[in-house]
Amino acid sequence: MKGKVVLIILFVVGFVIGFAITTHLKGDEETTKHSKRCEEMTNLNGFVEFISSSYSQRQFTSKPISDEIIQKILVAGHRAGSARNAQPWHFTVVRNRELIDEIMNNVTDENVLIVVSGPREDPNSRFSMNFDCALATQNMFLAAQALGLGARMYAIPVQNINENLLPKLGLPDENLRVKIVLRIGYEAEDVDATTAASPRLPLENKVNFIVN
């Protein structure tokens, strides 16, 4: 009889201890989830601040850019959204000095050009390939800055490239046309990010709300 009582007591004690441990672990799990969520929110806030502080660089240095960094920038561009997931873009990475000089003037040594191409725009289509390519370019523009480089987008060279330089780009499809050129390079150390950025017009002049 006494043995049965002892067994029952041990069972109850074990159950209580097990329940307490499970509850504690669950609490730790919930705390971890909450902490992770708070960290994610902090990172998101930092990302918004990063976008708000980004700007088009004008002064670059001749510090070489590694292939690893270029690859990360390209991945960011390829992760852009597109209508019906068409992913219409093609990226041409230009390091060749002679070709760079044909595309643009006064490009600092060791800067890299990423020429963004896409299909010709169909005026009858409900979707815009140009817009999709712009999203990819913006991704790379921001990624370059996040990796410690400067970046700037150029539209002026596009016409000359499409008219005279397309064969030199080695594009895989004859229907592709250049949409924009992204220049990346390390920025000069003496650049003041605050004064280098072009001023923004007041937000209230660019937004309206329809509530009811």
For the chain, domain boundaries: 1-53, 67-189
Using pLDDT thresholds of 50, 70 and 90, give the confidence band for residue 70. Answer: very high
Using pLDDT thresholds of 50, 70 and 90, give the confidence band for residue 12. Answer: very low
Assess contact for 62 and 187: CB atoms under 8 A: no
Cβ count near 197 (within 10 Å):
14
How would you label 65-78 residue by residue, b for 16+ Cβ within 10 Å and e otherwise? Answer: beeebbeebbebbe
Poorest-confidence range of 73-77, 108-112, 119-123, 196-200? 196-200
**Average pLDDT score, the chain:** 83
Q: Considering the entire predicted model, what is its pTM?
A: 0.76
- Between CA 195 and CA 193 the distance in angstroms is 6
Using pLDDT thresholds of 50, 70 and 90, give the confidence band for residue 123. Answer: confident
Asked if the model's pLDDT at residue 55 lies above 90, the reply is: no
What pLDDT, on a 0 to 100 scale, did the predictor assign at position 192?
61
pLDDT > 70: percent of the chain: 76
Question: Which CATH number does the domain 67-189 belong to among 3.40.630.30, 3.40.109.10, 3.30.1330.10, 1.10.1740.10?
Answer: 3.40.109.10
Report DSSP letters for 143-204, one per residue.
HHHHTT-EEEEE-TTHHHIIIIIHHHHT-S-TTEEEEEEEEEEPBPTT--HHHHSPPPPPGG
